[in-house]
């Protein structure tokens, strides 16, 4: 079965492209069509630009672009992304799968940290900025044309070398502040201060991010909640802020990206650090205390998803310490950012694909799909309003 959608420019120049969906072996699919029309002044003439975006949810089928606008069918369209090291593995997987569905389109992901992705998309240097934290109010005010789109959910966690305490490790926010702020620097003092048993002895070797990181910003926001949820033995106040770049105390090892933190902790029998959910393999994962529900919760896909609200009207909504049963305390959304002043039609196609077919690949990478949640409903509403520049 073949279905062809044709869009033709109604004004002085013709714009046409065809999207074909193919049904292999009777596999089931559903099609959602979103059309957007806008009158735009361009080169002293008025043109009607209409964009037809076809969002598909396909079983074993695939989607192919056979005749992109203005081309003969052999033109290649490049989508550039940069930013969060957390989002990077997901962007890599999506790039592979999207190109298989759209051979005429190639997504080129790169890293550099959330701060880089935010700045480069604002400066129109890339098509999509990837961010693992919601951009701050100064950024949003300075860049009103940058649209923020949730694409996945994630959990941020504390990880330790298995030699520190095996797999049995639980912490609350005060305990984390004491370590990452350098208030306590040896495992013996940590053990005594919080009335816990720790197998490791000697110095606590802390690994953190050196780059501008959304993961750091999210972690800092959670650490700031320590004052409102006091530990029964020792209380600490986080004083290092929640920006994407933190001035860490002397003696702490600042390294590049989630992979750098994970590698540092894995190679150090006294090591501890913080990473995104997809970077916890082979490390001892720390169960963190959610004071709202008064439970220690393990970071995993299921518990991160429990933190999402039934309705999402603000993509920057706080998901930390959710009151939802079983919710992990440091859940977050991951974002793609696009600039309305530098937006190609094929980027919109890609974004629709990410929020439809792309969701099926998220758990394979170690993140949390948002399909069927309030987050994807919000994201689709944003993408539905986008028009090519």
Q: What's the pLDDT score for residue 228?
A: 85
The answer to whether 194 and 231 are in contact (CB under 8 A) is: yes
Q: Quick check: 265 and 276 in contact, CB under 8 A? A: no
Residues near 314 by beta carbon (within 8 Å), at least 6 away in sequence: none
Q: What count of other Cβ atoms lies within 10 Å of the Cβ of residue 116?
A: 24
Q: What tens digit of pLDDT does each residue of 234-247 get?
A: 999 999 999 989 99
The residue-averaged pLDDT of 72-77 equals 74
Q: How confident is the model at residue 73 (pLDDT cuts 50, 70, 90)?
A: low
What is the token pair recorded at 13?
Answer: 């120049």
How does DSSP assign 76-106, residue by residue? -EEEEEEE-TTTHHHHHHHHHHHHHH-TTEE
pLDDT tens per residue across span 284-315: 999 999 999 999 999 998 999 999 999 999 99
What are the structural domain ranges in the chain? Answer: 1-73, 162-328
pLDDT band at 60 (very low <50, low <70, confident <90, very high): very low
Q: How far apart are CA 85 and CA 323, in angstroms?
A: 29
Q: Is the pLDDT of residue 126 over 90?
A: yes
Q: Rounded distance, CA 57 to CA 294, Å?
A: 39
pLDDT band at 355, cuts 50/70/90?
Answer: very high
Whether the per-residue pLDDT at 342 is higher than 90: the answer is: yes
pLDDT tens-digit map of 267-287? 999 999 999 988 999 999 999
Q: Which of 20-24, 98-102, 149-153, 367-371 has the lowest mean pLDDT?
A: 20-24
**Strand, helix or coil at 50?**
strand
> How sure is the predictor about 27, in pLDDT bands with cuts at 50, 70 and 90?
very low
- Amino acid 389: pLDDT: 93
- Residue 30 in this model has a pLDDT that exceeds 60: no
**Residue 337: pLDDT above 90?**
yes
Residue 57, pLDDT score: 34
Q: Which CATH number fits the domain 162-328, given the four candidates 3.40.50.1370, 3.40.50.11780, 3.40.190.10, 3.30.70.3000?
A: 3.40.190.10
Check residue 166 and give its pLDDT.
85
pLDDT at 39: 29
User: Does 327 have pLDDT greater than 50?
Assistant: yes
What average pLDDT does the chain have? 83
Task: Give 155-208 pLDDT, tens digit per residue.
Answer: 999 999 999 998 889 999 999 999 999 999 999 999 999 999 999 999 999 999
Q: Which of 39, 38, 50 is nearest to 8 (CA)?
A: 50
pTM of the model: 0.74
pLDDT level of residue 33 (50, 70, 90 thresholds)? very low
pLDDT, position 74: 72
CB 210 within 8 A of CB 255: yes
**How confident is the model over 144-160, as a mean pLDDT?**
96
Taking alpha carbons only, the member of 78, 68, 73, 70 closest to residue 105 is 78
């Amino acid at each position: 079965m073949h279905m062809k959608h044709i869009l033709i420019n109604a004004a002085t120049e013709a714009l046409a492209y065809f999207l074909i969906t193919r049904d292999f072996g009777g596999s089931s699919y559903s099609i959602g069509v979103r059309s957007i029309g806008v009158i735009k002044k361009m080169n002293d003439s008025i043109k009607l630009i209409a964009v037809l975006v076809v969002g598909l949810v396909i079983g074993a089928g695939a989607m192919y672009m056979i005749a992109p606008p203005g081309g003969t069918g052999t033109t290649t369209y490049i989508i550039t992304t940069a930013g969060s090291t957390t989002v990077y593995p997901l962007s890599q997987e999506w790039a592979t799968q999207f190109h298989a569905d759209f051979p005429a389109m190639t997504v080129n992901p790169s890293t550099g940290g959330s701060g880089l992705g935010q700045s480069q998309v604002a400066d129109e240097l890339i098509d999509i900025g990837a961010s693992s934290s919601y951009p701050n109010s100064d950024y949003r005010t300075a860049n009103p044309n940058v649209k923020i789109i949730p694409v996945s959910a994630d959990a941020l966690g504390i990880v330790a070398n298995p030699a520190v305490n095996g797999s049995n490790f639980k912490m609350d926010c005060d305990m984390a502040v004491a370590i990452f702020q350098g208030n306590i620097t040896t495992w013996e003092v940590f053990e005594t201060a919080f009335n816990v048993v720790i197998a490791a002895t000697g110095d606590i070797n802390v690994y953190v991010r050196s780059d501008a990181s959304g993961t750091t910003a999210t972690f800092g926001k959670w650490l700031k909640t320590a004052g409102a949820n006091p530990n029964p033995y020792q209380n600490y106040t986080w004083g290092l802020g929640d920006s994407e770049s933190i001035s860490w105390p002397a003696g702490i090892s600042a390294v590049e990206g989630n992979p750098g933190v994970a590698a540092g902790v894995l190679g150090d029998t006294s090591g501890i650090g913080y990473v995104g959910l997809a970077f916890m393999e082979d490390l001892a994962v720390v169960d963190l205390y959610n004071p709202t529900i008064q439970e220690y919760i393990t970071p995993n896909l299921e518990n991160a998803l429990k933190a999402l609200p039934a309705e999402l009207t603000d993509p920057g909504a706080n998901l930390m310490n959710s009151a939802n049963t079983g919710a992990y305390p440091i859940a977050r959304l991951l974002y793609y950012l696009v600039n309305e002043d530098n937006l190609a039609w094929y980027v919109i196609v890609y974004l629709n694909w990410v929020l439809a077919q792309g969701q099926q690949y998220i758990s394979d990478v170690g993140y949390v799909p948002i399909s069927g949640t309030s987050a994807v409903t919000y994201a689709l509403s944003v993408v539905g309003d986008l028009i090519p520049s």
